[in-house]
Amino acid sequence: MHNAIHIGKIFGINIYVDWSWIFIFLLVLWELAAGVFPQLHPQWGPGLIWSTAFVASLLFFASVLAHELAHSLVAKANGIPVHDITLFLFGGVSNIQREPTSPAAEFVMAVVGPLTSIVLGVIFLLLSGAVVAGLDVAMGNLPASLAQLDPLSTLLLWLGPINILLGVFNLIPGFPLDGGRVLRSIFWAASKNLRRATQWASWVGQAIAWILIVAGISMVFGMSLPFFGTGLIGGLWLAFIGWFLNNAAVQSYQQVVVEDLLEGVTVAQLMHANTPTVSSSIPVSSLVHDHILGTDERAFPVVDNDRLVGFVCIEDVRKVPREKWDTTTVGEIMTPANQLVVATPGEEASAALNDLALRDVNQLPVVQDGRLVGTLRRRDIMRWLQLHSGLTGRETLHLPT
């Protein structure tokens, strides 16, 4: 289940807005309405200032979406599925289903996003520059001249530099930022090994993350840094970005380790074949007392006449009042088969793991020709990874969430 707001679909890619995005949107809106635009246009009234700031904030995040769309479209052109794009606290992220197939594909996919932002920034600056060139710019009195700009020109003048800054920031070689992925493509081409290249890029990303954390803490304690300045809010924000980047670098490497360990492994090798099932006709009370209690199973395939008809779990039972357990059947509370995501025995285990993470479920029914042949559970995959990761290193592995 996707814990974000679905706002539409572009080029077949679902677009979501995470709840954390609201915070950064309001922060940008406040910075523009309370700081930037009143200083640039002291003659503007509150209504014009706030409406211009609101439009500017929306256009900025539209630019972030364009950045992510560039990544996603190049990925799709390379035959890599893209499920969705989510705007969140730190900008945007494309949910690309698997790693690129070559260093060249990785390089193009990574660099196209920042280039899109920089090109957009240059276009905005050129458009705003044509307006500024037509102003009566007084020597030494540029602020008064810029105050003559109308709202549209002001938007263009602000969007230009902010998009260029976005593109340049993403080129920082801190994996998994775009610049870090460009660096990984170079390491990959040199080493011919994606996992080793990811590890090296992850180390660089973690080093840059710790530099940001230390710099942010230094700002909190009064140190003035070039470009960043000083102050409590700016320092905490920079340290927070560093912390996020460090976690993302570690998790991105672990994801590649998991995919590497699962390469060539099928669902049939990991699934739980002797899956306990229930009938759709039994009452909820029977499900609880005869199947759930006394076992460690939390979900059961519902099978009638050897055909999978649904799936029922503890969460479904909790929705039924206790006094109605005897009169409510499993068929009334189960998730029907046509709404389930299922795996097949020959499917790659890594693809099934992506489905588990994407749907935020702990198990998938494994079906062949409409018949249930087993269940693939997160713990089955985790057990297999724990057994095999010990042969390849001392990494602490975590499944995607």
- Residues annotated as catalytic (active site), given as ranges: 68
Beta bridge mates, 9: 14
Please, which residues bridge with residue 6 across strands? 16
Locate 383 and state its tokens. Answer: 């057990």
CA dist 364 and 311 (Å) reads 9
Question: What is the CB neighbour count within 10 angstroms for residue 310?
Answer: 23
Distance of alpha carbon 128 from alpha carbon 120, whole angstroms: 12
Amino acid making up residue 165: L
What's the token pair of residue 104? 């060249």
Q: Find out whether 315 and 284 touch, Cβ atoms under 8 Å.
A: no
Q: Concatenate the DSSP letters of all residues of 289-358 into one string.
A: IIIITTSS--EEEEEETTEEEEEEEHHHHHTS-GGGTTT-BHHHHSEEGGG---B-TTSBHHHHHHHHHH
The token duo for 84 is 């969705």
Residue entry with tokens 């000083």: 230
What is the Cα–Cα distance from 378 to 103, expressed in whole angstroms?
31
Residue 272's H or E segment, with its range, is none
The DSSP output letter for 282 is S
For the beta carbon of residue 330, count every other beta carbon within 10 angstroms.
Answer: 23
Distance CA 211, CA 221 (A): 16
Q: Are strands 335-336 and 363-368 parallel, antiparallel or unpaired?
A: unpaired
Q: What share of the chain is helix, strand, coil (3-state, %, to 5)?
A: 60, 15, 25
CB contact at 8 A, 326 and 372: no
Contact 65, 21 (CB under 8 A): no
- C-alpha closest to that of 275 among 299, 304, 309, 307: 299
Contact by Cβ (8 Å): 329, 281:
yes
